[in-house]
Structures are given as C-alpha cells and as structure tokens.
Amino acid sequence: MQKLLFFFLAVFLPFTPAFAAEEVILGLSQNRVAITADFDGSEILIFGAIKRDAATSQVGPLGVVITIQGPSQPLTVRRKEKKYGIWVNSDALEIDSAPAFYAVATSAPFNTVMTHTQDLKFHVSIPHAIRSVGAPVHIKDPAAFSQAAIRIRRANNLYQVLENTVDIQQETLFQTSIALPSNLTEGVYKTRVFLTRDREVVTHFDTLIKVQKVGLERFLFNLSRERPLIYGLLSLAIAIIAGWGASAFFQMFRRG
C-alpha cells in the first residue's frame, strides 16, 4: 500500500508551479478523526514527495521534520510542596498557550536536522510550541512549570518526540506514522512538514486534520455546552435510575 502511495506521488500528481527550488507534496491517510464512545486512538500515516527544479543543485544533508499540533489553550500548572507531612499547593503559574496534543517526528536526531534559530523561528520543538510570556515576581524558576507540563503530558502520550521515525527514500519520498491517543481534545489539528538542508528550513507545507466527536458523544458534548441545566438534570436522573436499579436488583437477589 505504501509503495503504491509513493508511486502515485512520484508519477501521477499534477504539476504545480514551484515557488521554491524544492517543494513538498503531502498526503495523509485521513484528514478527519471521529471520536466515538469506544474510541481508543487512531494512527495517521503521513507521506509525501519532494519536487525539485531540474536545475536545482542540492547542497547540504536533507532532513524532514513533521509536526501535528492540537488546539492551544491556557494551562494552569501548580507546584506542590511537603509541609507538616502532607503535600499542598504552593505556587501556581498560568501558561498563556499550550497545545492539547503535540507530536514531532524527524528523519534524524532533532539537533542534526534543524538549528536552534530555525526551531525558534518556526516554533517546532515542544518547548517552543508552548507560549509563556511572563511570570509573577514571586514565582521562582518559572521555566520549571513549563517543563512540568511537558513531562506530565508526555507521560499521558499527549506530547511525543519521535526522532528517526521519518523514512526518506532516495531523497525524494518520505513517510511516517503518528499515533493519536484516545484522550484527544476535539478541534483542528495543524500538520506541518519542514524540509531542511544543512539544518536550515528550505520549504514547508501545512495542512489540517479535524478531530470531532460524533454520535452520542457529540450529542452529550453539545448538550453540556448549550443546555447545561438540562444536561445536569439528565445526569441526575440517570444517576437516580441507575441507583434505584442496582438497589432493586440486590433486593431481588437476596429474596432469591
């Protein structure tokens, strides 16, 4: 299947005017992910080809970096300290913007395919994808809060660093696959592909993946946002019915 996709990219894709000496042509196995009641994750196959001008002289080693970024939102990170034998919240810092999901896949170790300056310019690595403008004066070591957020989300598979996972064939075709976990946040996921030469970005391409709840999950989500009172009453009714049903069952079981 993957060989057929590569063959399609290399031979049958229509010609488009090149704005750069090298241009990325990208394909996705799916651009929509449906979250259902039994959703347990998904996998996105990302594949593409590199189109070049006939007169282009290739200079420097080729690198490919692919990122998938979920919706960004503010995030409050709390620091805990042990006082009088118990753990309590001491300081809290609100990070201005942090992606709900972020994965970065590379064709080689990250620092060998992209410079720090290019990373800073395009916000490619996970630390640079998180935006934290400032911190209150009383907060000591504010960078530790961002590091803690990254560590927690990496443990939950929401932040992924996938070095050496992008396969490049003959410096023309590339592919990788990125696993999306079951605990995804609904929204638009931005996919970016960076082509580098000698660790400098020569071109990049962006596309979108839509992640959306469907069926009963979608109905309950919309109800909780648009009709919170009805949603609360419905949840209470279901809890009462479930409790009454369990009680009735155990009473019948005892009598039997």
pLDDT of residue 98: 93
- DSSP-derived 3-state class of residue 109: coil
Of 4-8, 63-67, 163-167, 191-195, the range with the lowest mean pLDDT is 4-8
Least Cα distance to 129 among 95, 102, 92, 109 occurs for 102
pLDDT of residue 157: 94
> What gap in Å lies between CA 26 and CA 48, rounded to an integer?
4
pLDDT higher than 50, residue 89: yes
Q: What is the mean pLDDT of residues 220-244?
A: 69
CATH fold label, 2-69+99-213: Immunoglobulin-like (2.60.40)
Q: What share of the chain is helix, strand, coil (3-state, %, to 5)?
A: 30, 40, 30
Q: What is the mean pLDDT of residues 148-152?
A: 91
Residue 175 contacts residue 2 (beta carbons within 8 Å) = yes
- Torsion sign over Cα 68, 70, 71, 76: negative
pLDDT of residue 11: 46
Q: What is the mean pLDDT of residues 134-138?
A: 65
The β-bridge partners of 131 are 97
